[in-house]
Amino acid sequence: MRTLLRVSLALAGVVAATAVTGCSAVRPPALTVNGSDVSRSSVDDELQAIADNPGLQDRITSSDGTIKSDGSAIWLTQIAQQEVVDREVQRRDIKVTAADRRAGQAQAEDFFGPQVFAEFPQWFRDRATARYSRQQALLRATGTAPSDADVRAAYDAAITQLRAQCPSGRFVSHILVPGQQLAAGLAAQVRAGASFEQLASQQSTDSTSARDGGALGCIDGQQLVPAFQQVASTLPLNQVSAPVQTQFGWHIIVVRDTIPFELLESGLRLRLEQQSPAAQRALDALVARADVDVDPRYGRWRVRDGKGTVEPPPGAPRTMTTAPTTSPEPVP
């Protein structure tokens, strides 16, 4: 599962392809999960599509055109997990809804990054979206309401990500109103203990940021009005500015080194309700108990800390040359 904001290129720098010329399309399989075979041709087609994606080539290929070897295990782990998901969906007779398909599309885009995902051929996008849609259906059908601890853990993960993407560590919020006197009055209320976020949602004429308690996000890379930029860049953390005038009106500004939990809580809780941590833990347990056999050229199956993953072959070279692959198999 992914955190609040999209994490581009989950495969960054590690996707690999390991196709071998002359291999049978079916036997031996690339991997077998609970008695179900996944063909080499299917796996190699997908790995080749990943390798050929223009948005990934600078991260997964070497200068001589070969593909970095160790990351095929990431995609093989995804495929092994999907075999477990599909068996559960069938056993429970779970129907994939339109909402599941939308969530599956979003998960596929999260995994690769939206722009990168759009660069894949249609058959790959259809296949990945269909898989993730079935996974979303299973999580929905087996999920429970997230605990407060789950929401707090998701918040901590989101903040860690946001800070990594904000070198300055300055997250700016504002309240925009028409007059200086009103701005000064609101600033005084905040200094006296009133909630900046609540006042922003009630009073700010910037309707877009008002919905987020006045939050504008990290100051880095934003095109801000010079007067606003000057204050936002120099204001001490957690202090309320004096009213600042721009052509849009009068602002009061607060800069923090984080985003308050209260601003993200409802969105995180909603996302966790749709992608239940308890259901994910149950799925992880099913995958860990699965009987998985991996063709040694792709790696080996290992269960560690309650999670099953494919590990690269021991001593694998850093890069391996791919061979031509067959036409894509029909989307399952």
CB-based contact 248:228 (threshold 8 Å): no
Query: In which region does residue 315 sit, left (phi positive, over 0), alpha (psi from -120 to 50) or beta (all else)?
Result: left
Amino acid at residue number 67: I
Digitized pLDDT (tens) for each residue of the chain, 332 residues in all: 333 223 333 333 334 334 333 333 446 899 999 999 999 999 999 988 988 888 877 666 555 444 455 668 889 999 999 999 999 999 999 999 988 898 888 888 888 888 889 999 999 999 999 999 999 899 888 877 778 898 899 899 989 988 888 999 999 999 999 999 999 999 999 999 999 999 998 999 998 888 888 989 899 888 889 999 999 999 999 999 999 999 999 999 999 999 889 888 877 876 777 667 778 888 999 999 999 999 998 889 999 988 999 998 876 544 333 333 333 444 44
Residue 41 burial (CB count, 10 A) = 20
Question: Is the dihedral angle over the CA atoms 74, 82, 310, 161 positive or is it negative?
Answer: positive
Query: What is the DSSP secondary structure assignment for residue 84, as one 8-state letter?
Result: H
Half-sphere exposure of 244 (CA within 13 A, CB side): 21
What span, in angstroms and rounded, lies between the C-alpha atoms of 5 and 136?
18
| pTM confidence score | 0.55
